[in-house]
Structure 1
Amino acid sequence: MLVITRKKGESILIGDDIEITVIKVEDGGVKISINAPKEVTILRKELYKAVEEENQIAANYDLKVIKDIRKK
């Protein structure tokens, strides 16, 4: 893991085509911009984790229950 300090207006580069720039620094938060190719997926980690958890629940769901619901 790389930990660096950046100030407003400063950037970091990831590879040749991803740039992350600090836009605003506020109490308890930082606003950043991400410039990346369209084919690069960018997700907030908390949303990714929530979807992952929902998928896990769905994968473990009893198919019999689903079939019973469809009959009603």
Structure 2
Amino acid sequence: MADREEEFNESAEDQVPDPVAEPDKVPDEPVFDHDKMSWREEAYMTLGIVYYGGHIAHWVWLQVQEQMFPLVQPYV
């Protein structure tokens, strides 16, 4: 029985953290980095912008017309 008590236990629960070790550092770089994106991610984003860009631009144009019409109507 005495031998079992002297055996080294490698479980994470029993280990004491090293006070000298540096804590995990948070990277200063942004999570969204264009330099580290794969070509698939870049293609996916480009296709999304191309597809939805026209729809968004059209919606914005309609909103501008809707807001500007009452202002321009007296002069027409």
TM class by shorter-chain length? Answer: 0.3 to 0.5
Higher strand share: 1
Q: TM-score, normalised by structure 2?
A: 0.31
Q: Could you say which structure has the larger radius of gyration?
A: 2
TM-score under structure 1 normalisation?
A: 0.32
- Which protein, 1 or 2, shows the higher relative CO under an 8 Å CA cutoff with sep ≥ 6? 1
- Which has a greater percent of helix? 2
